[in-house]
Amino acid sequence: MVDPMGIVYQALNAIFNPILALDPNPANPALTVLIIAFIVSLITTVANKYLVDQDELNEQQAEMKEFNARLRDAQKRGDGKEVAKLQAEQAELMKNQTAMMTNQFKPMIVTFVPIILIFFWMRSSAIHDLVIILPKTVYWVILTPVWHFIGSFLYGGQATIPYGIGWLLWYMICTFGMSQILRKFLGFKQGF
């Protein structure tokens, strides 16, 4: 019987094990996670770039912001007629917003399965044992104790290495940074 997940893991091993082997510290592969975060960020950012009409999205957001400002202004003035008129307009705006939200899910549909498979590979590889020791300031700024508390609540156990984070939080930090850089490089007009 053919094991589809075995085939997927073999393919991911073929792709990522050479990167892992190039890591200066294969026992603690922080650089490998950074490279994987770059690859995943590139995939998701390019998918967003080509599957979502960014100009239309920006236009819709500006229109909604302007509408909300007009509605707040009418409510502050106590202008019931204007508020009623704007609420009638709101139904049409909500249809447009729903269409744009649906459009924004297109990249997720394309990228979800590959990213989940990469996560499962990272969890089952040497990356699972990764520990990054952060400077004290960074440790507190990114609220690491809160994440440790949530992790201990969900998974049991305690963080045993002072100022240390695991592979998942390191991956999230790297992905956030890489995504922002790639979005600027690819000409996105806004953040997330």
Q: How many residues does the chain have?
A: 192
DSSP string, 31-95: HHHHHHHHHHHHHHHHHHHHHS-HHHHHHHHHHHHHHHHHHHHHHHHT-HHHHHHHHHHHHHHHH
Whether residue 19 contacts residue 122, with contact meaning beta carbons closer than 8 Å, is answered with no
Question: Is residue 90 over pLDDT 90?
Answer: no
Please name the amino acid found at residue 3: D
| pLDDT confidence of residue 59 | 84
At 139, list the tokens. 């440790």
At 50-85, the pLDDT tens digits run 888 888 888 888 888 888 888 888 888 887 888 788
- Mean pLDDT, the chain, as a whole number? 82
At 170-191, the pLDDT tens digits run 898 899 999 999 999 888 866 5
C-alpha 146/C-alpha 169 separation (Å) is: 12
Question: Is residue 102 over pLDDT 60?
Answer: yes
Whether residue 165 contacts residue 132, with contact meaning beta carbons closer than 8 Å, is answered with yes
| pLDDT confidence of residue 38 | 94
C-alpha 168/C-alpha 125 separation (Å) is: 13
Question: Is residue 37 over pLDDT 90?
Answer: yes
Neighbours of 12 (CB within 10 A): 18
Confidence of residue 43 (pLDDT cuts 50, 70, 90): very high
| pLDDT confidence of residue 155 | 64
At 148-166, the pLDDT tens digits run 777 677 666 665 667 777 7
Neighbours of 109 (CB within 10 A): 10
Confidence of residue 44 (pLDDT cuts 50, 70, 90): very high
C-alpha 165/C-alpha 167 separation (Å) is: 7
Q: Cα-Cα-Cα-Cα dihedral of 50, 54, 55, 61, to 10°?
A: 160
| pLDDT confidence of residue 156 | 63
Question: Is residue 123 over pLDDT 60?
Answer: yes
Please give the model's pTM, rounded to 2 decimal places.
0.73
At 182, list the tokens. 């790639």
